[in-house]
Structure 1
Amino acid sequence: MTEVVALALLLSASASMSVAHAETTQVLALAGSVDEVLTNIRNWVMGILAGLATVFLSIGGVRYVMGGGDPGEIEKAKTSFKAAGIGYALAALAPLVVTVLKGIVGA
């Protein structure tokens, strides 16, 4: 009896999923051109890199303050600061990378 109930639940769930999928075939966003896609990619990459760099900068600051003079913790903090600097540099170079990609694609 439980197998029949489980089968009925699965069939009803799959039927409702197919109905829901059929109703949501509307396209919500389209890019107008390759240039627009590359610009959106650049913005996302810059945002993600800057966000990660800020996280590493915060971690480095907390480690430096909470290290209490421990040379190992100070070195870990400096490593986090270096990673944050690299992240900010890559975020600053993202527009240059997109410009190169535009030249390759021909946009």
Structure 2
Amino acid sequence: MLALCLVGAASANALDAGTVLALAKSVNEVLNNIRNWIMGVLAGLATVFLSVGGVRYLMAGGDPGEVEKAKTAFKSAGWGYGLAALAPLVVAILKGIVGTGS
């Protein structure tokens, strides 16, 4: 019960009107954060697909259907890594559209 009261008190303090949880100094910083987030998510998902493809390939035991599923997972991982590599280009285009410069 005491822990619940402490959590409630901490939540009330965190939601104080003067508390700023996140503050971006410029649009450029926001776009850079978006780029980093996109790259992280895509690279993480690609790594998962690469791992799943590797495990499927190892466990296929010569079954052509499972080998094909593993190859599909490898292709998906390649697309994910490729899109993660292109994320800075996408953000650069957005910066050009918004007009933030570099």
TM category (shorter chain) comes to: 0.7 to 0.9
Deviation at 1:28, TM superposition (A): 2.1
Give the match for residue 69 of structure 2: 76
Aligned counterpart for 1:29 among listed residues 4, 17, 22: 22
Deviation at 1:58, TM superposition (A): 0.1
Aligned counterpart for 2:94 among listed residues 91, 98, 101: 101
Report Cα offsets for 1:61-90 as digits up to 9, x if no partner: 000000000000000000000000000000
Give the match for residue 20 of structure 1: 12
CA distance in 1, matches of 2:51, 2:20: 40
**Alignment RMSD (CA, Å):** 1.8
Q: Which runs of 5+ in 1 are unaligned?
A: 1-15
What is the one-letter code of the residue matched to 2:27?
V
User: Is 1:47 matched with 2:40?
Assistant: yes
Number of equivalent positions: 91
Of Structure 1 and Structure 2, the greater helix share is in 1
Q: Which runs of 5+ in 2 are unaligned?
A: 1-7
Task: Provide the TM-score with structure 1 as the length reference.
Answer: 0.79
What is the one-letter code of the residue matched to 1:62?
V
Structure 1 stretches of 4+ with a deviation exceeding 6 A read none
Looking at CA atoms only, which structure, 1 or 2, has the larger radius of gyration? Answer: 1
CA distance in 1, matches of 2:23, 2:14: 20
Identity %: 74
Task: Provide the TM-score with structure 2 as the length reference.
Answer: 0.83
CA distance in 2, matches of 1:96, 1:44: 14
